[in-house]
Amino acid sequence: MIKLVVGLGNPGRQYENTRHNAGFLFLDDLAAAWGCSWVSEPRFEGWLAEGGMASVRVMLLKPETFMNRSGQSVGKVARYYKLQPEEILVVHDELDFNVGVARLKKDGGHAGHNGLRDIIAHLGSNAFYRLRIGIGRPAAGRPVAEYVLSAPAKKELEMMRDAFEYCSGFMRQIVTGDMASVMSQLNAGAPKTNEINC
């Protein structure tokens, strides 16, 4: 079962709607759907919300440490609540997927994503689940850092939010540990619309 869902992003108003904050945006939508309230938790260096689904207690976490140090916050929560890596789902932006594409996977490397790199270092394991939200790659010649830290176009944001909504429909199965079923559906690429492949 999943007991902690982590959304990756950067704190601060200037980063709120940027591509790199896809994880934060997803968790904000999920918390709203679940009726959860965010509470600042300095001891965990993040914002926590708590809800329940299918009789399972689920914590939502948005680290306030900035992306490159996300593992500090995740590690503190995991140690305090004695969570195993397999009980953690990390939601993050994915350059290698087109906008609106999302995939669920377990373990693997960080593929250059500094948030994942730091989480792996602080957990001492890569055996957590990842929900990867596609943001696409920048045009040739545009620096990746500039691209991920900028806001997507209105249409792109709509596509991302459609993907959030669609993926949220799998959360009950994810939380209860029915990962094989979710992966077979979500990763098969069945589109919700002609534009969203999630």
Instruction: Please report the domains of the chain, with CATH numbers, ordered by start residue.
Output: 4-186 (3.40.50.1470)
Say what the pLDDT of residue 53 is: 77
What is the layout of strands, in order, in the sheet containing 102-106? Answer: 39-41, 46-53, 56-63, 4-7, 88-94, 129-134, 102-106
Q: What is the pLDDT of residue 66?
A: 93
Pairwise CA distance, residues 41 & 196, whole Å: 35
DSSP string, 85-137: GGGEEEEEEETTS-TT-EEEEES---TT-HHHHHHHHHHT---SEEEEEE---
CB 85 within 8 Å of CB 125? yes
Residue 148 tokens, joined: 């991920």
Digit-by-digit pLDDT tens for the chain (198 residues) are 999 999 999 999 999 999 999 999 999 999 999 999 999 999 999 999 998 776 888 999 999 999 999 999 999 999 999 999 999 999 999 999 999 899 999 988 787 789 999 999 999 999 999 999 999 999 999 999 999 999 999 999 999 999 999 999 999 999 999 999 999 988 876 444 333 332
The pLDDT assigned to 189 comes to 63
Instruction: Give me 141's structure tokens.
Output: 């010649």
The confidence score (pLDDT) of residue 187 equals 81
Q: Which residues are catalytic?
A: 20
Phi, psi angle pair for 101, to nearest 5° = -95, 140
Q: Which residue reads 């994810």 in tokens?
A: 174
Q: What is the pTM of this model?
A: 0.91
Give every CB contact of residue 61 below 8 A, 6+ residues apart in sequence.
Answer: 4, 5, 6, 7, 27, 44, 46, 47, 48, 73, 74, 77
Tokens of 128: 């957590």
